[in-house]
Amino acid sequence: TSPLSFSQVSTISPQDRFFLLIKFLSWIDTRLSRSNLLNGHPGGDQHDAPIGKRIVVGITGASGAEYARRLIECLCGSGAEVHLIITPNGRRLFAEELGIREITPLVLWRSGPERITLHSYRDVGSPLGSGSCPTDGMIVCPCSANTLAAMAAGLAENLLTRAAAVTLKEQR
């Protein structure tokens, strides 16, 4: 199937969006399982493993901190390099829903915190805000309606929306 456009996403009901998120996380879990099979176990398919991929992950204030944490675990566990941008409301969300007051790479992924790089939400001059910074894609999970609207409108007033605009422009 082809990817959904922003206009198509806005017509999907909240329940269906939730279903799509669950399906997406299940897909990531499947890829993680396959990539773990690469470690000497039969049946592994190296084309499914995001080993060496540079993925930008944005976390906003929409409910779903557990989904964000599981996404980061799956990406790191499958060998991806994660560049993390968290909005102030995303930090609040982690505190309220998961009891995590200080977000560090070690708190998010104990097995290999070096796979996670935290970027300042306010640093629009960060390399992630430039098309010359090579990344393989971006996921915003959870994504608030305000952030989705800003990305759809091409607004780039913080690093998360700027990185999204670059990702779309570069077709990553």
For residue range 137-167, what is the model confidence (pLDDT) as tens digits? 899 999 998 998 888 888 889 999 999 999 8
**Quick check: 68 pLDDT over 90?**
yes
The label of the residue with tokens 């992630």 reads 128
Which pLDDT belongs to residue 39?
43
* Mean pLDDT estimate for the chain: 80
Rounded Cα gap, residues 168 and 7, in angstroms? 14
**Exposure class string for 106-118: b at 16+ Cβ within 10 A, else e:** eebbeeeeebbee
Query: Which whole number is the average pLDDT over 76-91?
Result: 93
Share of the chain above pLDDT 90, in %: 38
For residue range 87-136, what is the model confidence (pLDDT) as tens digits? 999 999 999 999 999 999 988 888 778 889 999 999 989 999 888 888 98
Number of Cβ within 10 Å of residue 169's Cβ equals 10
For residue range 46-65, what is the model confidence (pLDDT) as tens digits? 444 456 789 999 999 988 89
What is the token pair recorded at 146? 């305000």
